[in-house]
Amino acid sequence: MNLPPLYAVVLAGGSGTRFWPASRRLRPKQLLPIGPSAPLSLIRGVVDRLGGLVPPERVLVATGSHLLEATRRELPELPPAAFLAEPRARNTAPCIGWAAFVVARREPDAVLCVLPSDQHATDAEAFRAALAVAATQAAAGRITTIGVVPTRPETGFGYLRKGAALAAGVHEVGAFVEKPDAERARQYVASGDYLWNAGMFIFRARDMVAAIRRHLPAMARLLDAVDEAAALGEKAEQQAVARFFEETESVSIDYGVMEKESGLALVVGDFGWSDLGSWEAAWELAARDALGNAAPSGSVLVDSRRNLVADLRSSAAGRVIALVGVEDLVVVETDDALLVMRRDQSQAVREVVDALAARGDAQLL
């Protein structure tokens, strides 16, 4: 069977504070050179990982208006029309719906691969293979998701329960499962029946349009208005898009569509996936020396172990970072901040951001 045209819809609207001081309101995680893609940004890694599977002219990037310029700089090969600028954050359903309607206008049978922009996969080939399997399912009319084989009883992710087998490595989705507690997470992982929900969805444009009409009819009407306005010209389209984001509900694609659909396919993915959810995760994925340190070359490490050092200043020339007798730290420098943190306290970086917000240090957020 020949596959229909494949589109990628890269979701790059995320903000987030877990990588402060590297991440900021105008420089969210996906734009940072963290993890194994460094010195490339995460979003650059996501697009590069598509390889030949999706050509640049069929890559769409949904991002916040305030991030548009910075995101374009990361992906200079993409044409201006590739960027869907969200005037305000409305969770994932509106931007995925928008992308589906836009593609459906021209190629209703095209298959869209929705990919979060802030994840990493170490095995790009396996990633593309899973995507191709998912695209085959999608081309046959099934809204499909890729579930990631869990490597630990993570309580920070939702899970996908496998349903009936459809093909090799493909199941029906048995259920979307909320983030579990620790005990339940252990059971999920031990059973082998659960995969991590990594937010990757693959579907024909026409199928998503139909699903939105079924489950989110008000949103569908606003998107129809965008379609109609698009026929009148760019300015009319922009106004309709603004109205869409003004009036549509804020809802995730999981809750708004996926959990209400039946007959979804689930492709088992095992390609060294990580959501790089914290500095701790960045350390885990980083290239490390024999003592477990990940630090810029030129750093001087004396009797120090298992540290992550990141120098993200705009000009790092002629400067040295020295560690003496320290273990399990995260040390991050930017032009305007220095963070020194116990690695296993990475979640608490949020408290720094809260403290800065409370005292009105807006430029540091």
Query: Closest CB to a second copy among 214 and 342?
Result: 342
d(CA 313, CA 116): 26
Q: Does 364 bind a second copy (CB under 8 A)?
A: yes
d(CA 243, CA 231): 16
Q: Does 356 bind a second copy (CB under 8 A)?
A: yes
* Beta carbon of residue 247, minimum distance to a second copy (angstroms, whole number): 39
Q: Does 338 bind a second copy (CB under 8 A)?
A: yes
* Beta carbon of residue 336, minimum distance to a second copy (angstroms, whole number): 5
Q: Does 345 bind a second copy (CB under 8 A)?
A: yes
* Beta carbon of residue 309, minimum distance to a second copy (angstroms, whole number): 8
Q: Does 357 bind a second copy (CB under 8 A)?
A: no
How many chain residues touch a second copy (CB under 8 A)? 35
* Beta carbon of residue 4, minimum distance to a second copy (angstroms, whole number): 49
Q: Does 300 bind a second copy (CB under 8 A)?
A: yes
Q: Does 48 bind a second copy (CB under 8 A)?
A: no
* Beta carbon of residue 287, minimum distance to a second copy (angstroms, whole number): 20
* Beta carbon of residue 275, minimum distance to a second copy (angstroms, whole number): 21
- Applying CB under 8 A, which part among 75-83, 220-228, 243-251, 338-346 lies near a second copy? 338-346
What token pair was written down for 273?
Answer: 């996936």
Query: Closest CB to a second copy among 231 and 324?
Result: 324
Q: Which helix (H) or strand (E) holds 135?
A: helix 124-139
Q: Does 348 bind a second copy (CB under 8 A)?
A: yes
- Applying CB under 8 A, which part among 33-41, 88-96, 267-275, 337-345 lies near a second copy? 337-345
**Among 8, 34, 12, 24, CA closest to 274:** 34
Q: Does 365 bind a second copy (CB under 8 A)?
A: no
Q: What is the DSSP string of 85-133?
A: EESS---HHHHHHHHHHHHHHH-TT-EEEEEETT-EES-HHHHHHHHHH
Query: Closest CB to a second copy among 146 and 341?
Result: 341
* Beta carbon of residue 285, minimum distance to a second copy (angstroms, whole number): 20
Q: Does 267 bind a second copy (CB under 8 A)?
A: no
Q: Are 210 and 245 in contact (CB under 8 A)?
A: no
Three-state secondary structure call for residue 137: helix
Q: What is the DSSP string of 32-87?
A: S--GGGTTS-HHHHHHHHTGGGS-GGGEEEEEEGGGHHHHHHH-TTS-GGGEEEES
Give the E-state strand segments of 178-316 in sequence order.
194-204, 265-269, 273-274, 300-302, 308-311
Q: Does 282 bind a second copy (CB under 8 A)?
A: no
Question: Hey, which residues does 145 pair with through a beta bridge?
Answer: 201, 266
Tell me the one-letter amino acid at 361: D
* Beta carbon of residue 239, minimum distance to a second copy (angstroms, whole number): 39
Q: Does 341 bind a second copy (CB under 8 A)?
A: yes
Q: CA-CA distances (angstroms) from residue 75 to 31, 123, 313? A: 10, 21, 21
Q: Are 327 and 309 in contact (CB under 8 A)?
A: no
d(CA 21, CA 127): 30
Residues of this chain that bind a second copy (CB under 8 A): 21, 300, 302-303, 318-326, 329, 331, 333, 335-342, 344-345, 348-349, 351-352, 355-356, 361, 363-364
